[in-house]
Amino acid sequence: MKISTKVQSRNNKTLSLEKVGIIYNVRHESAEEVANTLESVLKSRGFPDIAKYKVHGKKARSEVDSKIGLAFVVGGDGTFLGAARSFSPYGTPLFGINTGRLGFLSQLKPSCIETGIDKIINGDFVIDERLMIRNSAENEKEFHTALNDVVIKGGEISRTAQLFLYINNRHVCDYLADGLIISTPTGSTAYTLSAGGPVVVPEMEAFVIVPICPHSLTTRPIVIPADEKIEVKVKIDSEFISVTSDGQDSIKVDSQKTICISKNEYKARLITLKSDNNGFYGILREKLHWGISPHS
């Protein structure tokens, strides 16, 4: 059986199936077995070139081959986030098979692999582009990217800090808090949600700014356009502050330096299979029981 190596999505984007990759997290008990099953299904459907890559934990970075036209990610959302940071610079679409818990990003269940692959072959999917965020320290060329969020905290985990927020070079507000989360819409259902932030539809071009445990009765989350330039200055009795991307990629920055945050130049590309109940609101209801009465 041969397949077409070029497939058109339902939103008129071309997907190359000439070479595909399988990234799987061996820290998940069933991930290797699922990856092997996926490989067998792909071979039976006539995929010409399949590469497999192990990652040891969600913080590990996978190998990247820029020739891969589609990357299957077997694991949880943490594994997916790591793959997004690795593959998004090359414009590689990602498709998640969930062996974790919630699976907001990894939508397909292992039991539905054959059905899912057939939908991809038949073009019954869309390729969504998701906003990514980047951060860097003042006057430094190196930057870090995230699909979910950037979290700024003081050097000591339990230490409260003063954080000063600037947007487009204008002083907006001061926080006395455990830290500050700057989130994309994709990340609005992650750490931001736990900190009291709003749920934002993934297609929106916006950032959500939420303080962590603020010492204030008036502090509220704020949603701003993604084109705004954000700067955060921190005052703390410590030599460094911690800046973490997607809860995985953490760096220590001189506490005297300003953290600069902006929209990333490229976006993450996610493949979503089309069905009647897997839209964003359906996922909220299924994963978080959003909008469901206690009687349900």
Q: Which of the residues are catalytic?
A: 77
Alpha carbons within 13 angstroms on the beta-carbon side of residue 20 total 27
Region for 247 from its dihedrals, namely left if φ exceeds 0, alpha if ψ lies in -120 to 50, beta otherwise: left
Q: Which amino acid is at 269?
A: R
Quote the tokens at residue 76. Answer: 């949880």
Q: 80, 214, 69: which is closest to 127 by C-alpha?
A: 69
Beta carbons within 10 angstroms of residue 110's beta carbon: 17
CB contact set of 97 (below 8 Å; sequence gap of 6+): 34, 38, 72, 73, 74, 106, 108, 109, 110, 113, 116
How many angstroms separate the Cα of 8 from the Cα of each of 34, 248, 276?
A: 26, 34, 20
For residues 151 and 211, give the distance between their C-alpha atoms in angstroms, rounded to a whole number: 10
Give the largest CA-CA distance in the chain.
65
How many C-beta neighbours within 10 Å does residue 26 have?
15
Burial group, residue 120, by CB count within 10 angstroms (0-12, 13-18, 19+): buried
